[in-house]
Structure 1
Amino acid sequence: MISTPSILPLSKPSLWSLTLAACAADPSDPLISPVGEHNYSTLTGLVPVALAVLRVAAEVEPCPKAVMQWYRYTPIRELGNLPAERLVALGRAEMVIAFLHSIRDGARN
């Protein structure tokens, strides 16, 4: 009997596993640019857009639990009072990343 590969999608990583990966990301593998709607390029490959946002958030806040709480629940006033998770789902990850870069670079609190 010939076996065929499953056509079922692979399971989506949990937010916690993405957050841990973001906090452990290699700083020598920076984010470069969005690739389509669901990925971001780095020097070594593609990462999911949520992981890209979490990686930048981890540059601002090193505690994984705090990063996850912020991503899920903290409304960003400048971006319509929506949390990062919702903004990413709406395709506005680049705006969230720019917001985080401005905090990281000292342009805002």
Structure 2
Amino acid sequence: MSAGKKRHPVIFEKKVITQNAIGESVENWQHEFNTLCEIKKSKIDTVNEDDANLIISDIKLVVNKTSCTKNIAASQYRATINNKSYLIVETDPYESAREITLYASNYD
């Protein structure tokens, strides 16, 4: 692991279902935590890790394993980086003892 690779701030939100005033179910996103991540090439597309605008559709995020990040579930969380949201679509089943790899797709 190289120092300084996890330099991109990321906000994680969890999907919650609430009811509106007339009793209909409404999907919302609830803030869970902020952390830093490393952005890598996705399984499908290529991405410039130094691209400040992150104009890409699929990304691979690497975060440190913490009490917050170890519970991230596919389709139940989204990651927001530089005001752009990505739905977590897959978690790597072969995660290391210190890091978790998440695959995310353009949410907007």
TM-score by length of 1: 0.25
TM-score by length of 2: 0.25
Structure of greater Rg: 1
Greater per-residue helix proportion: 1
Greater per-residue strand proportion: 2
Structure with the bigger RCO (C-alpha within 8 Å, sep 6+) is 2
